[in-house]
């Protein structure tokens, strides 16, 4: 009866527990400021790959050429606030512009905040390169300034970033400005951080052939990657299992098994946008058992997994010398 009630509680809690907030991945970004009235923002997956994107200038020239041809058409909205340029992997291109009298249906708070923080000019031209999912956003104070970009070489600016490998590893954003006809790094940004949390977990264990309810408490340090996504975590934990025997329809011979643990986990979902962290890593621990039981003063080692749905898993090997015993735990983290 006790195990049935415990299983019911664990399943009910899994249905009602608050889900972990999803992480919004921030893409690596290079911001170019060739002059006070122009900003160009390039976004991709990794700075170390973005600095090899020599295609930026040829794609820019192709876009300006297509835009100039489109502007010759009477129906084209020359003063559109937002213009889109799509380039497929096979080279097909499409240009679209919002009408000049277009009115936003709703305010995008994140976009407005970005515009204020970066002091972006009002006219935006967005180039989507589908061959590698890069985006290039061009912001101008006046639409007529677009032709002036033909004479600006953005590819040569990458040299200022390439020579500083620490800059690329530690930051998700690099700001470049042109001074005295040379590109210089003016600023950078990182969301790297370290946090600590303490929390309980409840679940069920199968150690050898015996099932047992468990309760666990962990103190965990978590390190975020440069773009704010959790990268790895490590810490210590305490786990208590209770074993019982059924005699004459009564519970008897309660035995407490304690485990003192050290654990380390990596987020293997690091490069997936808008997703929860998924953790896997090694764990070692030392066991003590009441009444000097067979698991008293024994060492264990195993693998732990978290973030796979609402539950976590542990797979352990307990060294009894000379034989070993296996254990598996399913737990609900809070």
Residues 6+ apart with CB under 8 A from 181: none
Is residue 220 within 8 Å of 197, Cβ to Cβ? yes
Is residue 212 within 8 Å of 198, Cβ to Cβ? no
Cβ atoms < 10 Å from Cβ of 40: 23
What does the H/E/C string look like for 133-194? CEEEEEEECCHHHHHHHHHCCCHHHHHHHHCCHHHHHHCCEEEEEEECCEEEEEEEECCCEE
Domains of the chain in sequence order: 28-189 (no CATH), 192-333 (2.40.160)
Per-residue tens of pLDDT for the chain, all 334 residues: 333 333 433 343 333 333 333 334 578 999 999 999 999 999 998 899 999 998 999 999 999 999 999 999 998 998 899 999 999 999 999 999 987 666 666 777 888 888 898 999 999 999 999 998 999 999 999 999 999 999 999 999 999 999 899 999 999 999 999 988 899 999 999 988 999 999 999 999 999 999 999 999 999 999 998 888 899 999 999 999 998 875 656 656 788 999 999 999 999 887 654 568 899 999 999 999 988 888 999 999 999 999 887 899 999 999 998 899 999 999 998 8
Strand partners, 138: 40, 125
Angle at 101 between CA 98 and CA 103, to 5 degrees: 80
Name the pairing type of β-strands 28-35 and 173-179: parallel
- Distance, in Å, from the CA atom of 83 to the CA atom of 95, rounded to the nearest integer, reads 7
Is residue 318 within 8 Å of 326, Cβ to Cβ? yes
């Amino acid at each position: 009866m006790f195990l049935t009630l415990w299983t019911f509680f664990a399943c009910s809690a899994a249905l009602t527990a608050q889900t972990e907030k999803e992480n919004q991945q921030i893409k690596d970004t290079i911001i170019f400021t060739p002059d006070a009235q122009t900003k160009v923002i390039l976004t991709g997956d990794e700075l170390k790959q973005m600095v090899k994107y020599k295609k930026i200038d040829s794609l820019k020239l192709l876009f300006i050429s297509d835009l100039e041809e489109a502007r010759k058409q009477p129906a084209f909205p020359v003063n559109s606030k937002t213009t889109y340029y799509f380039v497929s992997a096979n080279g097909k291109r499409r240009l679209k512009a919002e009408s000049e009298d277009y009115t936003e249906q709703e305010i995008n708070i994140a976009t407005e905040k970005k515009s204020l923080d970066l002091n972006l000019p009002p006219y935006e031209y967005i180039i989507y390169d589908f061959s590698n999912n890069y985006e290039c956003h061009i912001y101008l104070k006046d639409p007529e300034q677009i032709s002036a970009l033909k004479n600006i070489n953005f590819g040569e600016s990458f040299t200022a970033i390439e020579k500083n490998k620490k800059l690329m590893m530690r930051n998700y954003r690099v700001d470049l400005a042109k001074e005295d006809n040379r590109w210089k790094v003016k600023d950078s940004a990182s969301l790297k951080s370290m946090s600590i949390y303490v929390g309980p977990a409840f679940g069920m264990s199968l150690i050898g052939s015996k099932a047992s309810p468990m309760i666990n408490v962990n103190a965990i340090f978590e390190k975020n990657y440069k773009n704010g996504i959790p990268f790895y975590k490590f810490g210590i934990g305490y786990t208590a299992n209770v074993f019982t025997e059924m005699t004459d329809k009564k519970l008897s011979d309660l035995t407490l098994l304690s485990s003192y643990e050290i654990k380390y986990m990596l987020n293997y979902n690091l490069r997936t946008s808008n997703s929860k962290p998924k953790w896997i890593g090694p764990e070692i621990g030392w066991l003590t058992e009441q009444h000097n039981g067979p698991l008293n003063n024994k060492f264990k080692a195993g693998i732990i997994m978290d973030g796979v749905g609402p539950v976590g898993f542990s797979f352990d090997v307990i060294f009894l010398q000379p034989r070993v015993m296996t254990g598996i735990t399913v737990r609900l983290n809070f």
